[in-house]
Structures are given as C-alpha cells and as structure tokens.
Amino acid sequence: MNTSEAKRVLEAALICAAAPMPMLEMRALFKGEVGADTLRRLLDELAGDWQDRGVELVTLASGWRFQSRPEMREFLDRLHPEKPPKYSRAAMETLAIVAYRQPVTRGDIEDIRGVTVSGQIVKQLEDRGWIDAIGYREAPGRPALYATTRQFLDDLGLASLDQLPAIDGQLDGANAAQALAAMSESAPLLDGAQATLLLEAGAPEDVLQEVPFLTDSEAAVGAPMASPSEFPHDEAAAISATSLSPTDASA
C-alpha cells in the first residue's frame, strides 16, 4: 500500500470512528505494517488537508478525532436548540478541585470548599466517567484518592492536564469551577444521552451552567495519561502501586 492509499484509509477510519482513535488502533488498520512515525506524518498531512474546512483533526487524551471547529458552533447549535443541562455548583467545584489538585480525597475537597462533599456527587462524577479512585492515602481509614480520567480530558477537548487554564490567586472551588467553565466557549453542547449528571438539591442560585463538553459521537493523537509521579501534588507518593490497574484513568 502506498502512502496515498494509506492516508485515505486512515482518513476514512477517523471520520467513521465513534470515539477518539488511539495509535494502536491506527496501526491495526494496516496490520502493523505502517510504523508510528509514518502514521504521525500522515496525521499531520491530514490535519493540513482539513485546515480550511469546518471540521478539524485534533489530538485528545485518548487519540485522534475529527470534530467541528469552534466557529461552527453557532450554526450547529441550531440543529439542537434545547438548553443544555446544568450541574450543581457543588458538582462543578468538586470536579474542578479534583482536576487541579489531584490526587485528592473527599476530605481534601471539603477542606478547600469549606463544606461537606456529598457522596452522591462523587458517585455521579464517577458514573459520568470524569473522575476515578486511583489509590488510597496511607492514613487512618485509607481514604480513596481521586483523579480525573481520559474521558474528562476528551470531553473538554484536551490532550493533557497541562492544557487546563491557569488559575489566578489561591485555588478554591469557585475559581477552579470558573476556569473550567471558561473553556466552554469552544466546546459544543452535550446531547440528550449524555445529560445524566443530576442536579444536587438546593437553591436555584447554587446552580452553575454545565461545561458543554464534547459528545462521544463527535469524537483526537492520544497523549499518554499522567503517571502518579506527574501529579501536581505530593500525595502521588502515597498511592499504593497495588491499588492501580491498567484501566485506571489518572490523567
């Protein structure tokens, strides 16, 4: 197979993929006969081919995907005019604190927010695939340490945690949540099937509009997940190696 044919095959696979395609799957397209360096070059060429179109080829934590450009959002939203679902302020602040301070325990989150964190909120974020328990702190009760997942990065359109917006001043729940919400300008709205994170019971003013993450169907080259040693927190040393599995998403 020549380079032109290989690029056509790769392009077709990426367009038809329902989720970001990692390098391993791309190599499977060619039974391993096309090396990683060649695939990278073909991906760069494809990105250039689509540079002036309404769709772009991007890289995310889990792989590569085609997605609509931010400037197309205004028009594509007309196909789905319903309002996006909303998450509670508590849910958004909890997610944001995990993203910026991981790995953290529920106690850490409560110390930062100054209020108790509902176990239901943590479970909802786990069920959505945005956070996961990656280990346990060596402390009384061995509380679980939480970190964000590749799915979280994919839904925000990011390849790594380094791309999260910087926070001015001291980290707190509100500042972290606002930083995540600021990224919504370039992300399309959730579809109905994804609007599964329930609102926390509370006053209407305690609700923040959801960060409009990308849909799975819109699903870019996969950046490796952060290892415990890369966490921006000293608690990385407290993660027990025996508590981690190959499927743990610690990015």
Q: What is the pLDDT of residues 140-184, one digit of tens each?
A: 999 999 999 999 999 888 889 998 888 877 777 777 777 777 665
pLDDT of 84 reads: 63
Residue 230, token pair as written in the block: 């890369």
pLDDT of 214 reads: 37
- pLDDT < 50 stretches in the chain: 186-251
Number of domains in the chain: 2
**Residues 67 and 167 reside in one and the same domain:** no
CATH number of the domain within which 217 lies: 1.10.10.10
pLDDT of 180 reads: 74
**Residues 71 and 113 reside in one and the same domain:** no
**Residues 94 and 218 reside in one and the same domain:** yes
pLDDT of 204 reads: 33
Range of the domain at 237: 86-243
pLDDT of 194 reads: 34
Question: Whole-prediction pTM value?
Answer: 0.65
